[in-house]
Every structure is written in structure tokens, then in C-alpha cells.
Structure 1
């Protein structure tokens, strides 16, 4: 089993969350008193991943209060978060890391089994079956299940997509340097590009496996409607074992 460092990209401004996003970074939105990123750190620990680097930006002081005294958690700030996309934040977090690296979005809730297909090493990203979330990223693979393309448009390619991007991927140790090189080339052309485009660019020359968990309970939290849906339909499974049911409380 690979000895991962986890990298959680948490620098975004959460504009679509409206008033809540102005006051709270999406990864620090709490359900039953537990912020999404804290739940992610706990899920990672359940799989033996206890080295975590969080890339902060918007309202970074909230992450400092939550994690500054947590062993194994390192905070890295992207000072240009307001003018860059998630790929630049990812590259900020990769600085000095040799891999293997487990990369996670900050604004997702998920069952911890979402991590399992990547635990043995290699580069890959986890897919799910249909979610109907309204902001899906569809993933296409070749016949061997390796990444070809991603898009928010289901008709982006003529062939059927394989599944939906969960927001969890991994880079093998020997793939970190080539990923950086591919990302640097892309950022030189598109400074505000998001990390998904960097993964696709990297996959053009390196194998990225795409295991799928058809019935995975997971959700991304981009706006209030998605948060309400996620709390009702995903959180009970994603938070199982993390919270004493008697202690649950409203958002």
C-alpha cells in the first residue's frame, strides 16, 4: 500500500454559495458541527493517511483556527487565490512534495470507501455513477479504463462517458514531476485554468486509471440547493462513524 501525502485544495472563494460563502470557505461549512475538510481529514486517517497539506486562500484564518494545532496537518497559502484557478492552487500545494499524493477537493462529502480504489498506488481518479447533482463533471476513458477527457457537457464527446468525477485523484510518486511539467505548460497559456484540465493534459502522455464506484454516496457543495440535497441524501452515509448520532444538530 502506498504511503500517501494528502493534498486538499481549499483556496476557492465559494462565490456561488452567496452570503454563506462570503463568511465561510466551502471546506469549512459544518454539518452536525463538523466542517467538510475536517471530515475529509478523518476519512483519510481511517485509511492510514496522516500527512495532510491544505492549500488555503479565501478566509484562510478559519483553516488556521481549525487545523493549526492538528498533528500531521500543514497549511499552505496561495496568496493569488483571487486571481487564479484551482490548478495554480494545486501546484502551490505540490511544491516540495515527491509523492505519492492523494488530491482532494475541499467542498466534497463522501463515504470513506471512495479512497479505497486509489490506495494501492498508481495515478488515478475515482468515478461514481449518476448523481443528478446538476453540476456534474463527466469523464471519458479508453477501453482500458484510462482517462481520455472530462467535461461538464455530457455531449462533449460522441461516445458515452464512463462516470462522474468525484473530486478525489492520486499521483504516483514518479508522476508528480511530469504532472508539474504538464501543468506549468498549461498555466503558461491559461493562468486561471482549473485542475481538471491539468489532469487531462497530464493523461495525454501518462496512464491515469479511472475506477468507478457506481453506488458511492458523495456530493459537491457549490450552492445552497446542493448543500440542502447533500445534507439530506449524502451526509448520513458520509458521516457514519464520525459523529455520535445523539450529538447531531442542524447546520
Structure 2
């Protein structure tokens, strides 16, 4: 196994999922036989990343039940401020005690194995995975500049016209951070949260990239989906999950 800590951000309240989100954390929603989190943990392990931490908040007891019954190796860390602080605070909770490389993941994702293999392909370089256009709704667009032979993160936004040039791709939700990047983010993160309690982790990564290059490897045809609402869940089940199953079978 690789010496990489996987950190899942799973504290969010899932407001846009309506009743389903009130009853179930998004990471514990399922399309196949297993929850999103279990599927992700299996895919990580298949790619050599076997050490997983989950930052909980909303309905944390359900993650505790999962760990007790089916996933005893999960390292659970609770963010008690999940209702009043944003995802950057959850990331800082997840990074507590860590100074080595970490793989940051959003918990409401389904993705094929290439996602993991691509984002950790260069262990010496931090990397934020991007895909081609998905048309899934609620996309986060990523802009990147050429630096030392690689496209490196400049900015991220849901506004596609935030910059005059065409975005490099769409944020997938898997980001690899070297040990240096982890230590730097732990230094700058608290001040960002102090200035804006609801700061999201994406802005934390953009701030990190100002002084620590974050490459943006792209898989144009990646099979993946984020699930923020019922329409996105239906799309994930009908259009994306079959492609993921096919990719696993190859």
C-alpha cells in the first residue's frame, strides 16, 4: 500500500437533497450494493491507497454505525462546527496530525479507477483532477496555466465566464497534496477560516496554489458524477454508473 492518507469531506448537511439529505449523509447514499463511501474506499485500495479518514458532521452517528458494522478500518474525525463553518474547516480537521501526502476526496462522488490512478501518478507533485465537460449541472470550472511543463491551478469557479479564457476542465473532487502542500495548507487555512467562517476547501486550494504549484491532470472522458440533488442522483444512476462498472471490468 502507498503511504498516502485519504481524507473524505463528509460533514455537509446535504440540504439540496431534500428529504433524502435530511435522513442520510450524501456519502452513505448508494446506487449499487454499496454506499458511495464504500465504493470509493474499495477503489482507493485497489489503487494502493488503503488508509482512509472521514470527516463527519451531519448525521455523524450513521458513519459510526458503518465503521462498527462494515468498515472497521475507517478513521473517523468529527467536525463539531459543521453547521457554522465551511468545508475548509472540515479539511483542516481532516489534516490534524498529518504532515505526509494526502488524497482529498468529496464524499458525494462516484468515479472510475482512472480517477485515482491519474491524480496520484506523480507523488512528487500536488494534483487536482479535472475532467472534460459533463453538462451535469452545478459544475465547478478550473483554469490552469502552463508552469514548468504542466498545467497548474490558477482559479476555480462555478461562473464559466469568470476568466476570459476557456476553462481547462471541470473539478472532479479528488486532489492529491504532497507533504509540503499539507503543511502549507495547515499554516494558511486557519487565517482563511478566521476571515470567512464559511470558506470552502476549493478556495483554500486556490490560495495554496499561489505559492505551491498544484498541477491539473485531465481525463477528458472520465466516468464520474457528483450528487448534490435528486436530478444529479438520477443522472449518476442512469448514465454514469454503468460506465463505471464497465471501466472496472476492463
Aligned to 2:98, the other structure's residue is in SS state coil
- Post-superposition Cα deviations, 1:199-242, rounded to whole Å, max 9, x if no partner, equal 00000111000000000011100000000001011112334588
Q: Output the TM-score relative to the length of structure 1.
A: 0.93
Kindly tell me the number of residue pairs found equivalent between the two proteins. 243
Aligned to 1:91, the other structure's residue is in SS state helix
Q: Distance in 2 between matches of 1:85 and 1:242?
A: 34
Task: Report how far residue 71 of structure 1 moved.
Answer: 4.4
Contact 1:135 1:152 in 2 (8 A): yes
Aligned to 2:83, the other structure's residue is in SS state helix
Q: Distance in 1 between matches of 2:152 and 2:178?
A: 15
What residue is the counterpart of 1:132 in the other structure? 135
Alignment pair present for 1:85 and 2:86: yes
Structure 1 210/2 Cα, relative in aligned 2: closer, same or farther at 3 Å? farther
Q: Distance in 2 between matches of 1:103 and 1:58?
A: 19
Contact 2:140 2:170 in 1 (8 A): yes
- Post-superposition Cα deviations, 1:41-98, rounded to whole Å, max 9, x if no partner, equal 0110001111100000111111111123534320101111111111101110100011
What residue is the counterpart of 1:179 in the other structure? 185
Structure 2: which 5+ residue stretches go unaligned? none
Task: Report how far residue 138 of structure 1 moved.
Answer: 0.3
Aligned to 2:43, the other structure's residue is in SS state helix
What residue is the counterpart of 2:61 in the other structure? 61
What residue is the counterpart of 2:164 in the other structure? 158
Contact 2:87 2:199 in 1 (8 A): yes
Q: Output the TM-score relative to the length of structure 2.
A: 0.93
Alignment pair present for 1:218 and 2:219: no
Task: Report how far residue 31 of structure 1 moved.
Answer: 1.4
Contact 1:5 1:100 in 2 (8 A): yes
Alignment pair present for 1:230 and 2:236: yes
Contact 1:136 1:165 in 2 (8 A): yes
Contact 1:50 1:72 in 2 (8 A): no
Task: Report how far residue 182 of structure 1 moved.
Answer: 2.0
